[in-house]
Chain A
Amino acid sequence: MTRHQRQIRRAQLLRIFAQGMLFLTLLMLSGIVIFILASGLPHINMQLLFGDYGKYPSIKPALLGTLSLTLLALVIAAPIGIGTALFLTEYTRTRSHLIRAIRIASETLSGIPSIVYGIFGYLVFAVALGFKYSLLGGGITLAIMILPLVVRSTEESLLAVPQSLREASLALGASKVRMIFTIVLPCAMSGILTSLILAAGRVISESAVLILTIGMVVNKMPESLMSPGTSLALDVYYFGSNGYPEQAAATGVVLLIVMIGINLLAVFLGKVFGKGELMHG
């Protein structure tokens, strides 16, 4: 074999290898989805979804729990995160020490394993503040957990707003506040919404934080935000480890569908709001 032929042969081998790996990835992904659907779908029924938790288990408390945790986390994290990002992009010098310090802090925060947030939330809210196990404590802890994500992606959306639009509005006599509310925030809206939705995805799929903060009470509807509760992800864990494999699989399907819906919503919002923006970069 000549050198040239050997090169061609090697290129072919690499191509075959890469194709094989791609196939393997797709196989695993679709395998998981198909497996979960196959083992879960037959067991989804009205009792499981909306029935009262009695003789047969139900995920109604978890649906309410996940919904309230998601709203709680977003309501807390969105204003704080967007405010922080606005401060970083519109009110500080680009290379200041403060920005660098905040960036290091937020990167560190986003690298912390979620169980550590969980123990923090447990010690602070459940124990020190005396909330006991509560949806509120869990929601606040989740808000803290997603904050770096919200700050970072909001900051990126704000930075993507062309400087020329800021200059144009200021040159027309707009104050900084007017510039931010009429130009900067509307232009960054799709990015901000997308980041909030992806953050909601993190909240919905989280379980470690919640085991330690909301108590995994699967069989009772929470009465208020101070009640203990459960979430879809926790129910999967609970059913799986307490002799309800069919319900665990069915809940997994529900969780999967919610997550797919969330991601489609993010893509959709990006398209709707993203039109026509940032055309003059």
Chain B
Amino acid sequence: MGKNAISVKDCNLHYGSVPALKNVTMDIRERKVTALIGPSGCGKSTFLRIFNRMNDLIESCRITGEILVEGNDIYASGVDVIQLRKTVGMVFQKPNPFPMSIYDNIAFAPRTFGIRKKAELSEIIERTLYRAGLWYEVKDRLHQSALGLSGGQQQRLCIARALAAEPRILLMDEPTSALDPISTGTIEALIMELKAEYTIVIVTHNMQQATRISDKTAFFLLGELVEYGGTQKVFSNPFDGRTESYITGRFG
């Protein structure tokens, strides 16, 4: 068995007085793909955003419990959020490249961490674009606007951009929900490749996607972690009746 990349104990999260997560306890294995599924508003995206503290942006958000990323309590006082976000990268639902060149998009994180040398930046840009399966499509137009790329290409650019920060954990918030089936397939294949090096946590609405790419699946309902286990097991022989109702499409 591998190590835990993330370990959550008794996590409660409130937006104002509204509870969004209730007593969630869950370990996420290193270098596996863990899928978070559940109906809209069940708390799975909120849960994902705990790990790089993106919930900090929401004023009324309060979190209790223990959240360890690589063994460190990320909500302890004095934690360097910037360093945390370097370790834990994120890809969003809608491709959100910056309105600048492909080159500058990828160089954003390395520049944040002080890399200025051209040779070094070029090496990172080639490596991460190659890793994201985009290199051959864009190598001749690195200095053109990233907004000229197709939706699927933009999302792979966003993955490359996240990889350029050299994270070890990658959070993906419904990364294919805004893409066509072919781009979705490309991204899924990419995720399968990336898990050799990265711990991936992916929120998805698409249950077929969860079965195709994830090793473990967590089912959330109304802020509770209802079921968590091997993806095969969760989808073929769920332990909780509510999981079965959801995956067979009785609600959602």
Seen from chain A, the residues whose Cβ lies within 8 Å of a Cβ on chain B are 93, 162, 164-165, 167-175, 178, 182-183, 186-187, 276-280
Q: A175-B82, A279-B147 are in contact. Are A167 and B109 (CB under 8 A)?
A: no
Residue of A nearest to B162 (CB): A172
Query: Which B35-84 residues sit within 8 Å CB-CB of chain A?
Result: 52, 54, 57, 59, 82-83
- Assess the B96–A162 pair: CB atoms within 8 A: yes
How far does the alpha carbon of A171 sit from the alpha carbon of B52 in the complex, in Å?
Answer: 7
In the A-B complex, the 4 residue pairs with the smallest Cβ-Cβ separation, listed nearest first, are A171-B90, A164-B96, A173-B85, A172-B109
Return chain A residues, CB-CB under 8 Å to B147. 276, 279-280
Residue of B nearest to A94 (CB): B59
Q: A173-B112, A182-B108, A276-B145 are in contact. Are A165 and B98 (CB under 8 A)?
A: yes
Q: A171-B90, A173-B165, A276-B145 are in contact. Are A187 and B99 (CB under 8 A)?
A: yes
B223 in the interface (beta carbon within 8 A): no
Return chain A residues, CB-CB under 8 Å to B86. 173
- Assess the A93–B89 pair: CB atoms within 8 A: no
Chain B 76-116: CB-based contact to A (< 8 A → 1; otherwise 0): 00000011011001101011111110000000110011000
- Assess the B85–A171 pair: CB atoms within 8 A: yes
How far does the alpha carbon of A115 sit from the alpha carbon of B57 in the complex, in Å?
Answer: 44
Return chain A residues, CB-CB under 8 Å to B59. 93
How far does the alpha carbon of A71 sit from the alpha carbon of B86 in the complex, in Å?
Answer: 43
Count of B interface residues, CB-CB < 8 Å: 28
**10 CB < 8 A contacts A-B:** A164-B94, A165-B98, A167-B92, A170-B85, A171-B85, A172-B109, A173-B109, A174-B112, A278-B99, A280-B147
Return chain A residues, CB-CB under 8 Å to B97. 280
- Assess the B54–A170 pair: CB atoms within 8 A: yes
How far does the alpha carbon of A165 sit from the alpha carbon of B113 in the complex, in Å?
Answer: 19
How far does the alpha carbon of A29 sit from the alpha carbon of B59 in the complex, in Å?
Answer: 51
Return chain A residues, CB-CB under 8 Å to B85. 170-173
- Assess the A167–B57 pair: CB atoms within 8 A: yes
Return chain A residues, CB-CB under 8 Å to B112. 172-175, 178
- Assess the B99–A171 pair: CB atoms within 8 A: no
Name the one of A168, A170, A173, A187 contacting B57, with C-beta atoms under 8 angstroms: A170
Inter-chain residue pair count (beta carbon < 8 A):
69
- Contacts beyond the supplied A162-B96, A167-B92, A171-B162: 7 A-B pairs with Cβ under 8 Å: A164-B92, A171-B90, A173-B85, A174-B108, A182-B108, A280-B96, A280-B97
Q: Which of A167, A168, A186, A280 has the most CB of B within 10 A?
A: A168
- Assess the A171–B108 pair: CB atoms within 8 A: no
How far does the alpha carbon of A202 sit from the alpha carbon of B106 in the complex, in Å?
Answer: 42
- Assess the A172–B108 pair: CB atoms within 8 A: yes
Return chain B residues, CB-CB under 8 Å to A279. 99, 147
Return chain B residues, CB-CB under 8 Å to A278. 99
B121 in the interface (beta carbon within 8 A): no
Give the Cβ gap from A92 to chain B, nearest Cβ, in Å.
Answer: 10
- Assess the A172–B57 pair: CB atoms within 8 A: no
- Assess the B113–A173 pair: CB atoms within 8 A: yes
Give the Cβ gap from A193 to chain B, nearest Cβ, in Å.
Answer: 16
Query: Which B108-130 residues sit within 8 Å CB-CB of chain A?
Result: 108-109, 112-113
Name the one of B54, B95, B145, B161 contacting A280, with C-beta atoms under 8 angstroms: B95
B158 in the interface (beta carbon within 8 A): yes
Return chain A residues, CB-CB under 8 Å to B108. 169, 172, 174, 182
Give the Cβ gap from B76 to chain A, nearest Cβ, in Å.
Answer: 19
Return chain A residues, CB-CB under 8 Å to B158. 168
Give the Cβ gap from B65 to chain A, nearest Cβ, in Å.
Answer: 22
How far does the alpha carbon of A187 sit from the alpha carbon of B109 in the complex, in Å?
Answer: 18
- Assess the B94–A280 pair: CB atoms within 8 A: yes
Return chain A residues, CB-CB under 8 Å to B52. 171
Give the Cβ gap from B169 to chain A, nearest Cβ, in Å.
Answer: 12
Return chain B residues, CB-CB under 8 Å to A171. 52, 54, 85, 89-90, 92, 162
- Assess the A167–B82 pair: CB atoms within 8 A: no
- Assess the A168–B109 pair: CB atoms within 8 A: no
- Assess the A172–B99 pair: CB atoms within 8 A: no
Return chain A residues, CB-CB under 8 Å to B162. 171-172
Return chain A residues, CB-CB under 8 Å to B94. 164, 280
How far does the alpha carbon of A164 sit from the alpha carbon of B90 in the complex, in Å?
Answer: 12
How far does the alpha carbon of A162 sit from the alpha carbon of B92 in the complex, in Å?
Answer: 13
Give the Cβ gap from A88 to chain B, nearest Cβ, in Å.
Answer: 15
Query: Which B162-181 residues sit within 8 Å CB-CB of chain A?
Result: 162, 165
Return chain B residues, CB-CB under 8 Å to A182. 108
